[in-house]
Structure 1
Amino acid sequence: MANDNYKVVLKSRFAGKIPVTVYRSERTGLHIALAQTKGPAVSCQINFATETETDDGLPHTLEHLVFMGSKSFPFKGGLDLLSLNAMAVDGTNAFTAQDHTGYTVKTMGAQGMQQFVHIYCDHLLNPLLTPQNYKTEVYHITPEGIDAGVVYSEMQEHENMLECIVHRQRLAAIFPENPCFRVETGGRLKEIRELCSLERVRNYHQRYYHLKNMWIYLCGAVNPEEMFKTIDKIDAAPENAPPAEFTRPFSNCRIPDIKHDRSKPFVVKGPADQEDEGVVEIGFLGRSASDSEWLTAVEILGSYLTKTTSAPLQKEMVLAADPYCESVYMGMDVLPRVEVSFDFSGVPVEKLDQIQERFFKIIREHTTADKLDLERLRYIIERKIKKLYSKLESSVASTVFDRLAQFQLYADSHTNQKHFDSVMNPIPTLEKLLEKPIEFWAEICQELFKDNCAVVIGKADPKMAEDLNKAEEKRLKELAENLDKYGCHVLEKDAEEENKVPILSAVERSKTLQKFDLFNVNSTVLLPRTIESSKVEKDWTKQANEKVAINELPFTAVIHDVDSNFVRTLFMFDLKHVPLKLRKYLMVFTDLLFSSPAIVDGQQLTDKQVADLFTKEVMDKSCDMGFLQNYLHFFHLYLEMPSDEFHLLPKWTEIILNNTIFERKKVLSIVKNLASGASSSKRDGFTMCQNIMHSLNNVKEHESRWHEDVVLEKFHRDLAKTLEKNTPEAQSVIDDLNELRREILKAPLNAHLICDPRKLDAKKKIDSKSWEFLDPTLRKESPAAKIQFDREEDVARFKIWTPAQQVIKVDSSDSSYFMQRVLCEHNYGSAEHVALVLWSNYLSMMEGVLWKEVRGNGFAYGANLYISPDHQSMTLNLYRCSRIVEAYEASKAAVLKVFDENLIDSELYESAKRGCVSNIMSKYESLKSTATLTAFNDMRGLKMEDIESLTHKVWDADMNASFELAKPFIRKLFDDSHCLRAIACPSNKLEEVKNVFPDIKTITVTDLQYTPE
């Protein structure tokens, strides 16, 4: 029997709650790790430890090529089409890390996973790896002498970005004797061109992609006996027999101490349009990855040093009156020895050389036994325990998989039960750390923060872009003149055509897809019936502790009843009537709320005291404009805490919204950081492309125009000058912030409580007096009014649809970005909406028209159509283009040909239907995401039945009728008399873009910037 082959080797419980069992195949050494959870979704990740010592990106290229067909399913795109038939959510996906490659899929229900997992494994173990697929998916040279390929396009974005250059130099300094930890696993452009080859990829696959080096992670309601039956199709196949001898990757790796001293920092440069803020990284080496207590303790110290306003590095480097950087982040890479890094972004030019001295001064002053705050360390640990339990309701699969990967890669033995327990259940370790004396923490700091570390300073260099462009022009000229030398890489026209033809005939493909079709629209509609939206009624107190008195809330509240041990509250304020002269401060205001001193229980506390108390009492928080990036004239505050501490909700809502004290020096620090943060955004082509589209599509008064750091950079820099001294003008800014607060507190408000009301408890009575700071007599609307998003008003008031097109040069990346948008009037759930959802997915899906013509030819990494009923828009997005003009022309020609010539593939249409339904349902996979979307839909005026109805309408839609409905909308997207067009590209692509779009306007960052009056 198949199940006799799979023996239990390890058992534990993630966070002490979720059973996790590891099985090992006696036949091959394959490992299967199963985490048993409730719910409809089943997640899978297939992991290979992958080690490489060169920069040609072998792990990354192989990750792409395995999706191009297998020996048992020999047609491109077949894997994703088959996954949709198995009720997969969002198809398949993959990622390349420094030390492993992971392949993911998620299905709605265990049956689909049982059917699909062996098909997935077959593609990984027996990929076709053909020359044609290598050329289009990895790298080729066009007959015109231009470099292209999907992998090549993807890595162009990373090649010259300052942040990437700094990161590579840090790894090179830390791991000079361990190339496997310093190379670019995604690939460097020169090495992809000159070193990478199909033969090298095949050899790499043979070395690492076999069952002895393969782990299958599963999370969901899975019957292991049934799963073994399908996995055995792979495990028992003779062609999949693993090599007799295999040494685990990294098992013999020894990482010596860092040889560099901080007194000799590395200085690197990256191209930029101006000498802007830079980047600094400082890297250290720690203990072995198997030392779970030490690793967890360093995580805690990372939060202690960098998170919240009481953190020393945050307080003295980010929130200082004269900031040293816009942000500081501590990262940890779990390798044979743990690497700990500190990243400082948005560093003013004049402070780049001061960062490391300032960093070590703060570390030395704040990490001795007499300076460390043991009470705060314990608050952080207690909060981490609570957040770990919270993850069981939100992201359990990804959290479990990350820990499994850590064990798979670096455990000294895959049968080490003690190590497995410590990795899967960190709760005992955290509880043990609660008892550690202050000397323990001081010793860890002394051990970690040594002078032998890697310090890398990254400077933006405007001249570098010009030099790189000249060198690239020279290289491309030589390439075009000597194409005969590169014959193996040149993609001829006939090869392009050959690459588009599946190895299987259309009839064979159809039979294969039908054979594995399990899709059932009814079985995917698994929205929790326990979640219902209703106004709070008086009889709620009969179901909850009487102290809670949620019927006495002085505002409209909606309870989303879920089985949870936490209460997640979302306060939504409608600010559409707040004057623009005040709304312009919202970016500053939101940053101030969690970093300012405040009045607490009648006493004024410092920002550090407030942050420490917050860490102790609140699990999570956020505040921002909009809801899920929509309806930006709403302001939201999110707070999360255990259900039995519900009394803390009004307390902290009042502290944050009403009792914070706005001090001039604190405001000055915030606005300087916001201005500095614009530097990294200006180096991001995609962000700049979005900024252009926002400026074309919205009036200046719309929040999307001045909710971006680039757009408001000048305003923030001018504000900083005003706040430098204690003048009447500076006081006027403080007065405006206080006035904005008053306007928010009397704006129309709704609250959404995501919780189990029967579990709510409070240590003291909560009634209307607890909410007096939200006195309804001050409100502009009755507290009984239920707020809903008004899409028509939003579009009418703020949207611009006058045809326009703009391009901006971004020289920090070799990739280009393109967005094209048109007005697309339709209602949610209407016949037009159904048709647009279907046919945009038909065109964009894997092996859809855009996928084949744009990505398949190596013009761009991604090409997609997006439909938004909320914004009444349709958008074409071309992402990471290596050949932006060809990408657009191919998109336009391919899409119009479909609708001009009625070119419909019925099999792809059926897959598009399955993809649409799965995509809709995937958003409701976890308790937290379901409840959040329920709140969002409630404010959109949508009920759960409307979501379910949409899936059935999509499923039942007639192919020809929906095609005709979608046709005029999609054709309009390519009509220059209707569209908005935004492009961000390197300067060496600018003339080419202007030749194709002669009416396009070239703009600069200054043109995007706006100072609201």
Structure 2
Amino acid sequence: MATGFSRLAPLQLTGMTVRVYESETTGLRAMLLETGEPLCSLHVVIGTESDTSEWTHKDDGLPHTLEHAIFLGSELYPYKGVLDKLANRCLADGTNAWTATDHTCYTMQSAGHEGCLNLLSIYADHILYPTLSDECFLTEVHHVTGDGENKGVVYCEMQGRENTSASLVDGKVLELLYPNGGYSAETGGKMANLRSLTNEQVRRYHRENYRPDNVMVILSGTASEAEFLRELEKVEERIQAKGYTRGSSGFDRPWSHPVPPMSPAGTIGVLSAGLPKEGQPVVVEFPSEEESTGVVSLGWRGPAYHEHATWAQLSLLWSYLTDSAIAPLSKALVEVESPLCSRVSPADEVFSEGYHQVWFRDAKCDTIDKLPTAFFDVISEVLQNFDLDRMHVVIRRRRRKVLEALERSPSRAAISHVIEHFLYGPRGVPPAEEMATLASGIDKLPHFAAAERLSAEEWVAVLKRFVVDRPCVAVVGRPSAAQAKAIDAAVKERQAATCAAMGAEGLAEAARKLQEAVAFNEREIPAHFLNAVPVPSYASIQSIPVLTIRGGKHLDVAPNSGVGVPPDVASSILAALRESRAALPPHVAPSFAPFWTEWAHVDTAFVTVAIAIDTASLSAEQRLLLPLYLDTAFKLPCELEDGTLLPKDDFVSGLQADTVRYGCELGLLRASLDQAVSFNLQLELGAEGEGFALALQWLRRALYLTRPSATYLKMAVQRHLAGVPAAMRNGRGIASVLNAALELDTLKSNRVSSHPVRQQHFLNKLLSQLGTSDGAAQVIAQLADLRTALLVASNMNVFVATDLTKLSHPFETLAAALLPPAAASALPLPEASAPLSRLCEGHILSGKEGQAAVVALSAIETNFLCVSAPGLGPYSEDHAALLVAVEHLTALEGDFWVKLRGAGLTYSYFVRPSTDTGRISFGLFKCTDLIGAYTAARKIIVDYASGASTITELQLEGAKSTVAYTIISSTSTRLSAAATAWEAAFEGKGVDYGRWLLSAMDEVSVADVLHAIKRYIVPIFDASSNLSASCPPNKLDTVCQGLESLLGLGVRKLHEEELQSFFGTGQEEPVAPPAVSVTTTSAFAFSKQFKCECPKCQPADAPSL
């Protein structure tokens, strides 16, 4: 054990052992969470308080700018990018960080613990002793371009966030709750502040806050105490070598001073304590040409940090009020014929004195001002009629959720509570007291047990104390077309003023300084830095044992499944399932024959049951009904088979009482394969496996026995319509669905048909129909037809993941649940079952090429781009090489990171091969200069294709390591491992696809990667690709002209009010783009310049690019 660290008595908690250490010399604190997870997580936390002083303003964004600057080099590793390049060699997906209101956290996750341990001391050197060079500040934080525009990575990020409805409303809530002090700081930085921020301020903030006694190192996973302390000692030795000792900085612990009071009564936006509330909400405008819906948030000051039991009670109360269709607030404000909003959702932050709030999303602007009063009317009713039985249901369900989260990922379940304890937990107290406080923060189960003993009167007292008898802040966010125009005009005026003030010489000097800064940042890193850590072997990484058994009438173990499961256990389970299948009664077996089942045996205390349903046979009209059908599947009255009517509220209440989670959505368990719909439930399995039968009972009711009514359908339609404006303000979502509309057969695509913009016309039609009895009957009949079309046995694949040794009579139970009621099925049944084979979007590609569309959205200030080109299938000989190529290009500190993000052109980007569609996509996210970023990305690819750039063996190792992490992490939990095997089958992959891919990747060479770039990535930038983008209105002409010039094809120019005509009503194809007078480029003309000459491409019958 490292002698410089004192050790507190370890905690034994559900799912983990917690060990805490503190340096007696430097004050550095550390924690080891022994969880046994295959993924190891490293978190380095710094308490960061941002307040106004004589040298800074709390909205300057100093915590956030430092979060970025830390990665740009350290005293011992003084090169930008060395940290992430080393992380890429550690079986990790690089490094990451976040800036919260009260802390900054630097993270890393690796497959196995060797990678995290190898990088710990190097990571710590960057955090504690960064270079903070002026060149890095210029590119990473803020600079003025030669055209007079404001850019920089941090600036770009905040430009995409500052004027969103959520950011503006939440900022005003915090400003009213915490008018003084750092809890209302915009720690990301407001754009006006970032424009005047200096690097000297950043350096000073680092000196005052990034002190060893204000740092906590947290490691979780499989590392031993000895291994952790050995690496921690290296960090301690470095700190001591710098001469730092505990308390020598002279600065107080962040957040150690009393929290100033909230805004006083009489302030606009503050509602008085007690009922009725006095005062008026404050209105905040956000930019949007669509002015029909807004957002409302109410907030209160909450308990102190150490009141863990009270925080648990408050969280449970908000679940009671909002968690389902029968929760009081949802029932009164959402699930009504004239809803005031589409969603009600709570939120909170546990500060030294925290806050809690509730959000009302998609609130109709003509009634938005009624929401605060309506909220307190509901609260008044709850005070008079508190339902203790329902609260017990809420508590027990929360307990199940916590247990499932601890089983799935103990470190993720614990990390926020560990950070809160570091920031606000007691110091200078006996060790037993400190550890007791830590245990109370992490382990919620005792608090739930105590909460279940509270009486209705005691719950009412909690509600009064924290919601009724405290002042409340109320903020109404209203959309404003005028605000959108004003922001647009302000950007143009600012650029013009900058150009005038700087003059031609000043702008040229700014461009020169930027160019020099980029060159400085990109200077070559000496090789000895880049191989400072070894690449761990992934052969020793623990995997989750999963046994997959699948089939119809005949069941068998899936090939190469069951690694890690004892052979005798596997044989016993297979025999039991076959015996149960053979035991089906003669009158049941023929009807059950078409069902294909998949059984996954995992070591779990829960059972997950899911049904995948093929939608290929649906008509265009039926496909448009899918969102409504799925939304209401678990929220309708139910007629049981004995004729008993289960009202909607009882149906939902029963589900809440029995389940961990339930749902029905497009795609499967992990939101993959949108051409399927799925129903799924998760329950506690129980000692005798009783959860399996209970899950199937609820599944049967949702599939077959619910009874739609005009009233409930109208509520759902209005809720969906209310979500359309928010979808129109989502630049990334619009660009993505535009691309899908170009790529796919829109009449067959679930993804396109279900998008709110495509749905809008159809939903208005439904709403009109539901207003009359004849129309309502027609809609209900259409839903019945849709259910009949979907629930055909040969369209349905069943998935069960649990401890299969605990199930009794599994097939008898399954058949009883899935066979339709006698009156519901008259269709002839196939004689044999088969796995579904049409769930991939590759089956519905439109075959269109060279299509481009750009839409101007008033609510966004940055650009979003999505481009698609031909890709490949899962077992292509080039697939592993393509994955390595993509990782090399897009990795942290890879080419795209340095030359797109590092140059301030875009905040983020992606290149994504899809085996679902057989296509490859390229995208830009929060992009300040779309044409500049696109051009820079294309040049990167051209340089590789032409031979101007190449890949070193060291870079190849790093890219392979990160791809290996991605493959391993996709199956790092029990359910993800089981679900991956199930979902893989629909794409033609084996259950061991990950292992096959790792093996194939081992053989990938530099030549293979360069071949993949030429063959599959170069065509992304060809005129044959399909391209979509969203941009601010003032950028529309520039973007379209730039793309037309680059690609030589016509670009359809759209304003947001034209999106409906682009998408059509859903029963016909979108309107074709008008002819554009642009010189066209033949398909693949660009990519043919870089034809691959490698041996793979030499045969005469090889496809030509």
Structure 1 length-normalised TM: 0.94
Q: Deviations over 1:508-533 (max 9, x none)?
A: 2x222323113324345x44344334
Q: Contact 2:255–2:352 at 8 Å: present in 1 too?
A: yes
Match of residue 446, structure 1, among 457, 464, 471: 464
| 2-structure distance, mates of 1:551, 1:424 | 47
User: Identity of counterpart residues, as a percentage?
Assistant: 23
Mapping of residues 525-924 of structure 1, within 5 Å: 526-535=542-551, 537=555, 552=584, 554=592, 555-600=595-640, 602=642, 603-627=644-668, 628-644=670-686, 645-701=691-747, 702-725=749-772, 727-747=773-793, 748-760=795-807, 766=813, 768-773=815-820, 782=830, 784-790=832-838, 794-824=841-871, 826-906=872-952, 907-924=954-971
Distance 1:786 1:121, change over 3 A: farther
1:264 pairs with 2:265: no
CA shift for structure 1 position 419: 1.8
2:186 maps to what in 1? Answer: 184
Letter in 1 for 2:725: S
CA shift for structure 1 position 112: 2.1
Q: Contact 1:132–1:499 at 8 Å: present in 2 too?
A: yes
Question: Partner of 2:859: helix, strand, or coil?
Answer: coil
Distance 1:240 1:377, change over 3 A: farther
Letter in 2 for 1:882: T
1:1001 maps to what in 2? Answer: 1052
1:339 maps to what in 2? Answer: 355
Question: Partner of 1:95: helix, strand, or coil?
Answer: strand
1:41 maps to what in 2? Answer: 39
Distance 1:740 1:316, change over 3 A: same
Distance 1:888 1:504, change over 3 A: closer
CA shift for structure 1 position 760: 3.2
2:16 maps to what in 1? Answer: 18
Question: Partner of 2:160: helix, strand, or coil?
Answer: helix
CA shift for structure 1 position 495: 4.4
Q: Contact 2:5–2:23 at 8 Å: present in 1 too?
A: yes
CA shift for structure 1 position 717: 2.2
Letter in 2 for 1:512: F
Letter in 2 for 1:972: P
Query: More deviation in 394-403 or 963-972?
Result: 963-972
1:7 maps to what in 2? Answer: 6
Q: Deviations over 1:382-439 (max 9, x none)?
A: 1111111111232322111111012112223374233222112111111111111111
Distance 1:529 1:265, change over 3 A: closer
2:234 maps to what in 1? Answer: 233
CA shift for structure 1 position 543: 7.5
Letter in 1 for 2:236: D
Q: Contact 1:258–1:285 at 8 Å: present in 2 too?
A: no
Question: Partner of 2:934: helix, strand, or coil?
Answer: helix
Q: Deviations over 1:797-836 (max 9, x none)?
A: 3434321111111121211111111122x22132221222
| 1-structure distance, mates of 2:365, 2:148 | 39
Distance 1:489 1:296, change over 3 A: farther
Question: Partner of 2:1021: helix, strand, or coil?
Answer: coil
1:122 maps to what in 2? Answer: 125
Q: Contact 2:286–2:478 at 8 Å: present in 1 too?
A: yes
| 2-structure distance, mates of 1:948, 1:445 | 53
| 1-structure distance, mates of 2:18, 2:49 | 27
Distance 1:799 1:763, change over 3 A: closer
Q: Deviations over 1:872-896 (max 9, x none)?
A: 1121111111122211111112221
Q: Contact 1:210–1:240 at 8 Å: present in 2 too?
A: no
1:78 pairs with 2:87: no
Q: Contact 2:581–2:811 at 8 Å: present in 1 too?
A: no
Aligned length: 999
Question: Partner of 2:242: helix, strand, or coil?
Answer: helix
Distance 1:485 1:902, change over 3 A: closer
Match of residue 28, structure 1, among 26, 38, 63: 26
CA shift for structure 1 position 111: 2.1
Q: Contact 1:752–1:935 at 8 Å: present in 2 too?
A: yes
CA shift for structure 1 position 690: 1.0
Q: Contact 2:982–2:991 at 8 Å: present in 1 too?
A: no
Distance 1:615 1:658, change over 3 A: same
1:56 maps to what in 2? Answer: 60
CA shift for structure 1 position 699: 1.9
2:539 maps to what in 1? Answer: 522
Query: More deviation in 424-433 or 629-638?
Result: 629-638
Question: Partner of 1:817: helix, strand, or coil?
Answer: strand
CA shift for structure 1 position 712: 0.7
| 1-structure distance, mates of 2:817, 2:147 | 72
| 1-structure distance, mates of 2:879, 2:763 | 41
Letter in 1 for 2:59: D
Question: Partner of 1:455: helix, strand, or coil?
Answer: strand
| 1-structure distance, mates of 2:351, 2:1062 | 43
Q: Contact 2:321–2:328 at 8 Å: present in 1 too?
A: yes
Question: Partner of 1:711: helix, strand, or coil?
Answer: helix
Structure 2 length-normalised TM: 0.87
| 1-structure distance, mates of 2:519, 2:829 | 60
Distance 1:952 1:17, change over 3 A: closer
| 1-structure distance, mates of 2:444, 2:338 | 39
Alignment RMSD, CA only?
A: 2.6
1:409 pairs with 2:423: yes
| 1-structure distance, mates of 2:279, 2:647 | 36
| 1-structure distance, mates of 2:508, 2:405 | 47
Q: Deviations over 1:157-183 (max 9, x none)?
A: 1121122211111111111123x1112
CA shift for structure 1 position 241: 2.0
Q: Deviations over 1:368-387 (max 9, x none)?
A: 3xx11111111111111111
1:112 pairs with 2:108: no
1:459 pairs with 2:478: yes
1:151 pairs with 2:169: no
Q: Contact 1:543–1:758 at 8 Å: present in 2 too?
A: no
Q: Give 5+ residue unaligned stretches, structure 1.
A: none
Letter in 2 for 1:995: Q
CA shift for structure 1 position 452: 2.0
Question: Partner of 1:27: helix, strand, or coil?
Answer: coil
Q: Contact 2:797–2:835 at 8 Å: present in 1 too?
A: yes
2:565 maps to what in 1? Answer: none
2:439 maps to what in 1? Answer: 421
Letter in 1 for 2:28: L
Query: More deviation in 876-885 or 442-451?
Result: 442-451
Question: Partner of 2:675: helix, strand, or coil?
Answer: strand
Mapping of residues 32-431 of structure 1, within 5 Å: 32-53=30-51, 54-88=58-92, 90-178=93-181, 180-194=182-196, 196-237=197-238, 238-239=241-242, 241-242=244-245, 243-244=247-248, 245-257=250-262, 259=264, 260-261=270-271, 263-368=279-384, 371-413=385-427, 415=431, 416-431=434-449
| 2-structure distance, mates of 1:333, 1:488 | 44
Query: More deviation in 900-909 or 311-320?
Result: 900-909
Letter in 1 for 2:11: S
